[in-house]
Amino acid sequence: MTEVLRGLGASAGVATGPAYRLADPPRLPPPHPVTDPDAELDRAYAAIDAVCRDIGERAAAAAEPTTAEILRVQAALAGDRTLRDGVAMAVRAGHPAPHAVAAVLAEHRSALLAAGGLLAARAADLDDLRDRAVAHCLGLPMPALPDPGHPFVLLAVDLSPADAAMLDPSRVLAVVTSAGSFVSHTAILARARGLPTVVACAGALDIRDGTPVTVDGATGRVAVGADEPAGAAPRRSRIEAVTGDLRGRTADGHPVALLANIGGVAEWTGGTAEGVGLFRTEMLFQHHIDAPTEAEQTAAYAEVFRALPDCPVIVRTLDAGADKPLPFLREDHEPNPALGIRGLRVARRREDILRTQIAAIAAAAAGCRARVSVMAPMVTTVAEAAQFAALCRDAGLPTVGAMVEVPAAAVRAVEILQVVDFLSVGTNDLSQYTFAADRRSGELSDLLDPWQPALLSLVALCAAAGAAVGRPVGVCGEAAADPDFAVLLVGLGVSSLSMAPPAVPAVRAALAARTLDDCRRAAQAALAARDPAAARAAVRL
């Protein structure tokens, strides 16, 4: 009999195969008296240095820029001077090396969790540093990924950046974790590899090795003990290579632009998407003590624009602040960061940051053939949209948009489209603000389901507003990567879909199999549904 577990869908796709669990790391033994503090401190430092060196080497060898950057940050955490100073104090206080390292990293972990937002998501990085340093102190190896000799579904509490960097799509069919979040490194790196992934899945670790499972990374559904024909081979829904015409269209020729979400030029996989629907500029700003200069930004943006001649590139201005803190912003502590100074609102305190970025985008665009547009995150009111549009147009950027991530913007979409040229719906944040549910919470995964009819109604409002004034409305949230959801979005009137590059071919194929009327009928049925399950069923008929 099939048992169904549910978690957060973190990377779309479906895979079926036997499940195998990543073994637990070595545990701390009972502490022993410290008779030679200097030798114990040398032991602790050697472990920290070895971990820092190992992760740094993995970063240097990583082919993907996202993977390399995540590992570089983790290596920097391991090499932080405050960690060594804290370990020295703990050893002098009588703690053996592995216990000293574990205690100090636990303090740092608590500080990240208290900070909330994306910093809290990085607490798992410190857990991995602890495990690796403890293992080195004890002279024990860290557990490697399972190797059953055939493709498998990986189960784990969570994956460290170092483990996630080793995921090989030819061996690992899908990933299921009992912890993690949509913004965890497990989710980010699995999406980059096109691996179906479900995180925060209660009961995942109770699955016995070798048990067949079916993982749906869009819905967060994990079917355990799925009935398979005798001798059936493990499989994953395939994304076929696409050549020639990259334009998306329905079976009867209705055009739908299929675009990519990227964080830099190395993530652009030409030959898949028609252009870029979301160029996240945060990577350039992260890990800077001072804000990058206009010249630094211009060079970085121009590198992307040169790689996409005659293609659309939609640049999102800095989406930071509060739950995505940057050292040079020096924000005051906020009791509820998700509802505070973030996205476009950062300009309320530091308008110079926004003006410099806009000037750099304009300078980079002037020397390239890419069709550059710019949009602001966390737009809430018509006045905010108008002010942002004026700044961009004064700088020489004629095509300006607003992201719809706040319900207030969705219900005033017609008015906002009077002052900007397009809208782009970010389903991730729009979902969390619509349902007052933190998108990192596995316990609230039912509310965060993008198939919730209330969320569909807000997307429909935006699409109808675009139709009313003759301006495009796209979706750049991760939900656009689900082929069935893409059919629904087109039926609602969405004109472009942007997603992780590996997801584009499957979405293109799904749209090509439906007429526009098919999509519209599916959308109306989903809007009328009472719950997400009924909405899905309506589209899949």
Please report which confidence band the pLDDT of residue 422 belongs to, taking 50, 70 and 90 as the band edges: very high
Three-class secondary structure assignment of 403-464: EECCHHHHHCHHHHCCCCCEEEECHHHHHHHHCCCCCCCHHHCCCCCCCCHHHHHHHHHHHH
pTM of the model: 0.74
pLDDT of residue 222: 94
Tens of pLDDT, residue by residue over 300-347, are: 999 999 999 999 999 999 987 545 556 566 556 666 777 888 889 988
- Residue 374 DSSP one-character state: E
Asked whether the beta carbons of 229 and 213 are under 8 A apart, the reply is no
439 pLDDT more than 80: no
223 pLDDT more than 50: yes
Asked whether the beta carbons of 402 and 452 are under 8 A apart, the reply is no
Question: What CA–CA distance (Å, rounded) separates 197 from 167?
Answer: 12
- CATH superfamily assigned to domain 248-514: Phosphoenolpyruvate-binding domains (3.20.20.60)
- Quote helix, strand, coil % in the chain, to nearest 5: 45, 15, 40
Please report which confidence band the pLDDT of residue 24 belongs to, taking 50, 70 and 90 as the band edges: confident
How would you classify residue 343: left for phi > 0, otherwise alpha for psi between -120 and 50, otherwise beta?
left
Average pLDDT rounded to a whole number, residues 367-394: 97
- Residue 396 DSSP one-character state: T
Question: What CA–CA distance (Å, rounded) separates 49 from 270?
Answer: 39
Question: What CA–CA distance (Å, rounded) separates 19 from 212?
Answer: 6
228 pLDDT more than 60: no
Asked whether the beta carbons of 179 and 199 are under 8 A apart, the reply is yes
Instruction: At 218, list the tokens.
Output: 């869009």
Tens of pLDDT, residue by residue over 34-77, are: 999 999 999 999 999 999 998 888 888 776 666 777 788 788 87
Question: What CA–CA distance (Å, rounded) separates 40 from 35?
Answer: 9
The architecture that CATH gives domain 3-24+143-235 is: 3-Layer(bba) Sandwich (3.50)
Instruction: At 77, list the tokens.
Output: 């955490």
410 pLDDT more than 60: yes
Question: What CA–CA distance (Å, rounded) separates 275 from 106?
Answer: 44
Task: Output the CA torsion sign for 85, 90, 93, 97.
Answer: negative
Tens of pLDDT, residue by residue over 260-297, are: 998 888 778 777 899 999 999 887 776 566 788 999 99
Domains 3-24+143-235 and 248-514 are alike in CATH topology: no
Range among 173-182, 189-198, 223-232, 464-473 with highest mean pLDDT value: 464-473
pLDDT of residue 349: 85
Average of per-residue pLDDT values in the chain: 87
Helix (H) or strand (E) holding 67: helix 65-78
pLDDT of residue 238: 45
231 pLDDT more than 60: no
Question: What CA–CA distance (Å, rounded) separates 532 from 535?
Answer: 5
pLDDT of residue 233: 65
443 pLDDT more than 90: no
Asked whether the beta carbons of 53 and 237 are under 8 A apart, the reply is no
Asked whether the beta carbons of 125 and 51 are under 8 A apart, the reply is no
50, 128, 129, 135, 140 from 143: Cα distances, Å: 16, 12, 14, 10, 9
pLDDT of residue 243: 46
Tens of pLDDT, residue by residue over 90-122, are: 999 999 999 999 999 998 888 776 655 555 666
Mark whether 287 is an active-site residue.
no
Instruction: At 354, list the tokens.
Output: 């926004």
Average pLDDT rounded to a whole number, residues 510-524: 96
CATH no., domain 37-138:
1.10.274.10
Lowest mean pLDDT among 139-148, 233-242, 397-406: 233-242
**221 - beta bridge partners?**
6, 216
Between 169 and 517, the more confident residue is 517
Question: What CA–CA distance (Å, rounded) separates 175 from 159?
Answer: 9
Mark whether 185 is an active-site residue.
yes
pLDDT of residue 506: 85
R_g over Cα of the chain: 24
239 pLDDT more than 50: no
From the list 137, 392, 476, 519, the catalytic residue is 476
Please report which confidence band the pLDDT of residue 456 belongs to, taking 50, 70 and 90 as the band edges: very high
Which amino acid makes up residue 463? A
**Domain boundary assignment for the chain:** 3-24+143-235, 37-138, 248-514
The number of beta carbons lying within 10 Å of the beta carbon of residue 363 is 18
From the list 99, 185, 311, 519, the catalytic residue is 185
Long-range contacts (CB closer than 8 Å, 24 or more residues apart) made by 100-106? 100/40, 100/44, 101/44, 101/47, 101/48, 101/130, 101/133, 101/134, 101/137, 102/28, 102/130, 102/133, 102/134, 105/129, 105/130, 105/133, 106/130
- Residue 495 DSSP one-character state: -
Please report which confidence band the pLDDT of residue 219 belongs to, taking 50, 70 and 90 as the band edges: confident
pLDDT of residue 22: 92
Average pLDDT rounded to a whole number, residues 444-472: 93
**20 - beta bridge partners?**
154
